[in-house]
Structure 1
Amino acid sequence: MIWKPALRLLPLLLLPLPLLLDDLATALSSAHLMFLASLPWLVGLIVILLSLGFKQSRTLLMVLHISAVASLYDLATASSPDNPASYVLVVLVGLIWPLMQAWITLVPERRTFSRAGIARILIVIGCYLSLVLIWRYQPIQLVQLLTALPRPFIEQLAPQLTISPAVFWWQLGCMILSVGLALMMGRRDLLTHITLSFCVLLTLADTTSRVQGQFYHLLGQFVLLIAVIRNGYDMAFVDTLTGVPGRRALEHHLISPGKGYSIAMLDIDHFKQFNDRYGHDVGDQVLRMVASQLRHVSAGGRLFRYGGEEFTIVFRRGSHEAVLGALEAVRERVAQYPMRIRSSSRPEDDEAGRSLRKRDEQDQAVKVTISIGFSTHEGSQTAEAVIKQADQALYAAKHGGRNCTRSAQQTAKPKKRRSRSDFARNPS
């Protein structure tokens, strides 16, 4: 689906919008300008409340960070453009904010009101508050600092810009470095980080347009609002272990599934034996591996984790043969995956570990298989009825030798299943 990547890229696509709206702002009345100035703070307050509700401490830090930068920007632009103290204030913000942005992006999540969480909040507020106090009560120190700055910090990058070359390249270099580190750490909010970085960079690049800065402040808060809502959605609908939508997402997906859809129930064979023999950590590895292979299902199938070792795939459309072929393909993909279990007694030293690697691979290689049952919607059946039929077909696949696929439309009705956990208790 092309609309999903496009939706994720929407914040970046909106970056030129404040530049286009800057000229239109001259036609706004004073009441409209006042509303525009207060709108980012209103959106920021909403993001703060949602961050507290969803316990997203990094998003809260990001809101405080961008709000503090916007406040300092307003202070600098509200004073005379020839005020040297204000100019130095903008230079210092330009040097500090990319470091703060990188730090917030890279730190792990912590409880907001834990010691670490409160300390982080105080660091963000204290850093920018100290600049405000110096600018307000000791501006002469900023003026003296101006005379000590090297020439690249004083010159303008371009005639239309107020940012200096040194500050511009410093911001860009810090942003590239932090993006690279975030990629290595697998941060999911990377696009949000990039968009906010450009918002602040473009804001500080031209301090002559206060309205443009307010537009970018609003865009930054809007991006954070999207991020906190998306993270809240993931918490409610996405399974944290496997990264695939969970059972609640499946229920939501089946509210209006249409007609002619198919539902497949998939179960990992002898999963209880993996947990008993290797431990729950290995069981989690098996679940993640199976989920990663099931993501490659074709025929338009959508994967969900039903619960425990069971997964569900919903096909909105497709013939019986197409669905069967897609399920057989992923079943074989899982069965052929070369999964090896790292020995818990393996030494930490790399050299000693290499000497045992060949023996470990021979002793700890495991074969993971899945059984599949699926059913196609017919007539006026409910989604619950289709799931029950698919579950019965899965039961038949289990008793038919496992590592196979059975269709409810081609399987005789088996005897009644006692409970959903019989598979794990009866591995025969």
Structure 2
Amino acid sequence: MSLYNLFRSSLFQIGFPLALAIQLCLSQEQIFTLLASYHELVNVVPYILFALVILLSQPFNQGSTGLVSLLMILSYYVIQNSLIVPLEDMNRVIFVLLATLLPINLLLIHALPDKRILSRFGITFSLFILLQLVWLSILMQNLSATDVNWLWQSFLKPLPTLSPSPLIIILLSFFITIFSALILLFRGHNSDQAVYITLLFTSVMFLSFNQALMPALTASMAAILLLISIINSSHELAFIDQLTEVPGRRSLEIEIKHLSGLYTIAMIDIDHFKHFNDTFGHRTGDEVLRLVAQLMNQNKGRGRIFRYGGEEFTIIFKGKNANQCMPYLNSLRTRVAEYDLKIRDHTSRPVMGVGLKAEMEKANNESVNITISIGVADSVSETIPENVMKAADKALYRAKNGGRNRVTNLRFA
């Protein structure tokens, strides 16, 4: 698995924030000591970071991340202005309501469409959040003259040795965070990652609420990860081909500009792809493109793969000449040719978000085989990357004219 695919995997998206949360808990005393002189600044940082996430979520079409940040910035404001440690009297009620409503609202975002925060839907949900705050304020006013200590002592009694939070709140946060992690694991949308990150760090915040800087630190950590998520998503939209999930043409152009030394470029074309598309339909054609990209990712040689456009791909091998790359490319050509592609009936069964191989194994219809042609050129006799690429394209043309399903090295064509 490539480093890029590792970062995009659901297991990494779950495990990395979890590791940071655990490290924060283990190192909190050292962190508190280090930041003791910057108490006021630390408390302001979450406002700045979440505001930045909200601003970036609009142009980058990350509406759910913006809504998550809106929930967090409002909740953090309530924490900073209405909750005083140690919790007493009405502060306890506010704490319990916040620790209950915030995870539930975050979990609700999993089920909502990912619309921009300034869209009609985003504005409606924002008003729904503000309505809850108004209700919370009215409820506090009505309960201000009521003795609620019995509720804390009976149903919401905390475990002082573990946390200032009542056990029921700890369990609620735990199970909702686990449920969110499962959604991220099996669905893996960007919005799912944003919800999971926020639920994880709010759980840590409520668990360690009696620590003075913990709300600010957990909120700041969540905001930083949300910022990274937005930047990563915008990078994917700009540089990653959404169909095959490999770097696209723009990434290739940048890579070509920085090539130097010894390298080999291979241009790959799926044989008779237009005829295949016309015969079996565009959905099956999409499956073929994903299959070829998947097999290239599994191939040895440490080449970097790009989708050049249409049915063409490019592989760049750094530090290798064309002869050294020929075994890897012939192995790829053979694996593609020997793969039995099951043709699915897309008219009766839609494409679902499961693995391509699993989809094909479930199919009981006819199977076909596809082939690829490959042209290869290196920088041994040509140092300008654009010219090496043209040479590889010329070699590909010879491979197509020579009968297809072959690898042609321009130096020996």
TM bucket normalised to smaller: 0.7 to 0.9
User: CA offset at residue 111 of structure 1?
Assistant: 4.0
Task: Find out whether 1:24 has 2:18 as its counterpart.
Answer: no
Give the stretch that moved more between structures: 82-91 or 181-190: 181-190
Q: Match of 1:49?
A: 55
- How far residue 329 of structure 1 moved from its aligned partner, in angstroms, is 1.6
1:66 to 1:379, Cα distance in 2 relative to 1, 3 A: farther
The structural deviation recorded for 1:103 is: 2.3
1:23 is matched by which residue type in structure 2?
Answer: F
Residue in 1 that maps onto 2:158: 155
Q: Deviations over 1:8-42 (max 9, x none)?
A: 665444323371455316741xxx33322222211
Task: Give 1:336 shift.
Answer: 1.8
Compared CA separation, residues 375 and 188, structure 1 to 2 (3 A)? farther
Match of 2:357 in 1: none
1:389 aligns with 2:395: no
Alignment correspondent of 1:236? 238
Deviation digits for residues 175-208 of structure 1 (CA, Å, limit 9, x no counterpart): 1122213322233565554433221111112332
- Determine the structure 2 residue equivalent to 1:245: 247
Partner of 2:40: 34
Hey, what's the Cα distance between the residues in 2 that align with 1:132 and 1:257?
A: 61
Q: Once superposed, what is the RMSD of the aligned Cα atoms?
A: 2.9
Q: Where in structure 2 are the equivalents of 1:7-406 lying within 5 Å?
A: 11-15=17-21, 16-17=23-24, 19-24=28-33, 27-28=36-37, 32-77=38-83, 79=84, 81-135=86-140, 137-140=141-144, 147-148=150-151, 151-156=154-159, 158-159=160-161, 161-188=163-190, 192-344=194-346, 346=348, 361=364, 364-379=366-381, 381-406=383-408
CA distance change for structure 1 residues 91 and 381 in 2, over 3 Å: closer, same or farther?
Answer: same
Q: Distance in 2 between matches of 1:322 and 1:129?
A: 69
In the alignment, is the contact (CA less than 8 A) between 1:88 and 1:146 conserved in 2?
Answer: no
- Equivalent residue of 2:136, what SS? helix
2:338 & 2:143 partners in 1: Cα distance? 70
Identity rate, percent: 29
CA distance in structure 2 between the partners assigned to 1:242 and 1:217 by the alignment: 35
Paired residues of 1:268 and 1:369 also in contact (CA < 8 A): yes
Q: Distance in 1 between matches of 2:209 and 2:139?
A: 20
Contact 1:153 1:165 in 2 (8 A): yes
TM-score, with structure 1 as normaliser: 0.83
Contact kept, 8 Å, 2:184 with 2:193, in 1: the verdict is: no
Task: Note the C-alpha offset of 1:383.
Answer: 1.4
1:201-240 Cα distance to aligned partner (Å, 9 max, x none)? 1111233233221111111111111111001101100111
**Structure 2: how far apart are the matches of 1:344 and 1:242?**
19
Question: Does the 8 A contact of 1:373 with 1:391 survive in 2?
Answer: yes
SS at match of 2:213: helix
Paired letter, 1:19? Q
Structure 1 unaligned segments of length 5 or more: list them.
349-356, 412-428
User: Alpha-carbon deviation of 1:345?
Assistant: 5.1
Contact 1:269 1:402 (C-alpha < 8 Å) held by counterparts: yes
* 1:2–1:343 distance in 2 versus 1, CA, 3 Å: closer
Offset from partner CA, 1:308-343 (integer Å, 9 cap, x none):
111111111234343111111222222222212223
Residues 373 and 127 of structure 1, relative CA distance in 2, 3 Å threshold: farther
Question: Distance between the aligned counterparts of 2:128 and 2:332, measured in 1?
Answer: 50
Structure 1 pair 151/334, CA: closer, same or farther in 2 (3 Å)?
farther
Measured against aligned partners, the alpha-carbon deviations of 1:123-144 in whole angstroms (never above 9, x if no partner) come to 3443345324533x33438x56
The aligned amino acid for 2:329 is L
Q: In terms of mean alpha carbon deviation, does 18-27 or 258-267 score higher?
A: 18-27
Decide whether the 8 Å contact of 2:62 with 2:191 is kept in 1: no
More moved, 198-207 vs 235-244 = 198-207
> How many angstroms does 1:382 deviate by?
1.6
Following TM superposition, by how much is the alpha carbon of 1:145 offset from its aligned partner in structure 2, in angstroms?
5.9
Distance in 2 between the 1:404 and 1:379 partners? 23
**Residue type of the partner of 1:53?**
P
Is the partner of 1:333 in helix, strand or coil? Answer: helix
